[in-house]
Structure formats: C-alpha cells, structure tokens
A = this chain, B = another copy of it.
Amino acid sequence: MAAMIDDAEKHPFGPAVGRLVQQLSGLPGIGRKTAERLANYLLSCSKAEALQLADAIRDVKEKVHRCRICFNLTDQEECSICRDPRRERSAVCVVEQPKDVMLLEASGAFGGLYHVLGGRISPLEGVGPEDLTIDALVRRVRQDEVREIVMATNPTVEGDGTALFISNLLENEPVRITRLARGIASGSVLEFANKEMLADALRGRQNF
C-alpha cells in the first residue's frame, strides 16, 4: 500500500506529490491513507480550486492574529466581539482557546466579553502562568470596569487549576468570580453520567 512509502522524494507520482502527502498527514486526525486520498483529490481537481485552498491557508496566516484586548482570533486590530457596542463590558468570560469562544457564542447565553488565555497551566507540559495571557487579564480587571469574571476553562484538573490560580490572583480586586455550572448535560440520560458529573449535579442542585 501507499502507506509503505515513507520517503516523500520516492513517491511514485514524484517528490512534489510526496511532499504534499507528507504535509497533509501532518494535520491532526489525518492518517497516511486519508492524506493520499486528499492528495489524489487535489491532483484531480481544477488548478483554480486547489489554489483557492492554498491561498486560503496563506491568507489566514497573513491576516489573522490575536485581538489586542481579549486575544481571540481576528483579522482586525480588535475582534468582532470586543468591537460590538451592544456587548456588556462589565462581564468577562475566561476561556482557554479561541474555539471555546466560538462554542460559547453559539450557545447565545452570554452577552459579555471574553479573555482567551491561550492554553492552561500545565507543569507537565512546561506551560506556566507566564506563557498565558493572565497578566493582561489582571490589567483588564484593574483598568476596565470589569465586575464579573466567568471562568470557562475546561472542567479538567489543569483547567480547574488554571481557574483557581487566576481567582487567587484576583482575590483582592473588587470583582465577582464565577464559573460555569457543573452538572448533567441537557438531553443526556443519568445512566451515562459518570460519578463526578452526578456529584457536581447534586452539589449544585437548584430550586425547582
């Protein structure tokens, strides 16, 4: 099978195809076989179509960068959320990655601003607080009129740890710190909830 050809220079269609397969199989979730299939598609489609994809990749790397205020991704100086005058500027939701902003926005349940940390504190991976945008968050809390910080880091040991670290840093600031409710997922069944989810749901039980 094609999977055997490890040396890009020796690809039967020539080194250019070999290098494309190599690049494609470097993408997350794309194995060697899928990379060959995608390369075959790119070889068979029109030149215009293939170059549109190449240009789209080049374009995002040239145009898209971090928002000056919240570190979300944007092609402007400030992202569309920070620029939106209808957003409640006193509430800031802290997330790990830009994609989390997208997910929370899709829920339509938050009308404030965001702050993208760029990851979470992970001693094992050598990521410390100084590698994240925590300093900038503290500055925002001090300079802007932020009255609530909503922690929306991932509900993992490292995500929780990062939220805890930040809430300790902000202890003496006049800001309310909350976090996303923990519990059972809407639409799921109790049978598939794990112990931790059920414990969270019980601890956080609400008036009916």
Complex copy number for this chain: 2
- Residue A138 CB within 8 A of the other chain: no
Near B by CB (< 8 A), chain A positions 143-196 give 194-195
| Stretch from A68-76, A87-95, A120-128 at the B interface | A68-76
- Residue A202 CB within 8 A of the other chain: no
User: Is there contact, CB below 8 Å, between A20 and B51?
Assistant: no
**Chain B residue at minimum C-beta to C-beta distance from A38:** B27
Query: In the complex, A36 Cα to B75 Cα: how many Å?
Result: 17
The one of B13, B41, B57 that contacts A51, using a Cβ cutoff of 8 Å: B57
User: Is there contact, CB below 8 Å, between B106 and A40?
Assistant: no
What are the residues of chain B within 8 A of A23 when measuring CB–CB?
A: 52-53, 56
Near B by CB (< 8 A), chain A positions 1-43 give 1-2, 4, 12-17, 19-20, 22-24, 26-30, 34, 36-43
User: Is there contact, CB below 8 Å, between B12 and A101?
Assistant: yes
Query: In the complex, A25 Cα to B123 Cα: how many Å?
Result: 36
Interface size on A, residues (CB 8 A): 63
What are the residues of chain B within 8 A of A101 when measuring CB–CB?
A: 12
CB contact under 8 A between A75 and B16, given known A1-B106, A51-B58, A103-B1: yes
User: Is there contact, CB below 8 Å, between A63 and B16?
Assistant: yes
Query: In the complex, A19 Cα to B56 Cα: how many Å?
Result: 6
CB contact under 8 A between A40 and B98, given known A14-B64, A60-B17: yes
CB contact under 8 A between A49 and B26, given known A12-B105, A102-B2: yes
- Residue A203 CB within 8 A of the other chain: no
What are the residues of chain B within 8 A of A81 when measuring CB–CB?
A: 12
What are the residues of chain B within 8 A of A13 when measuring CB–CB?
A: 64, 72-75, 79, 98, 102
What are the residues of chain B within 8 A of A50 when measuring CB–CB?
A: 57-58, 60-61
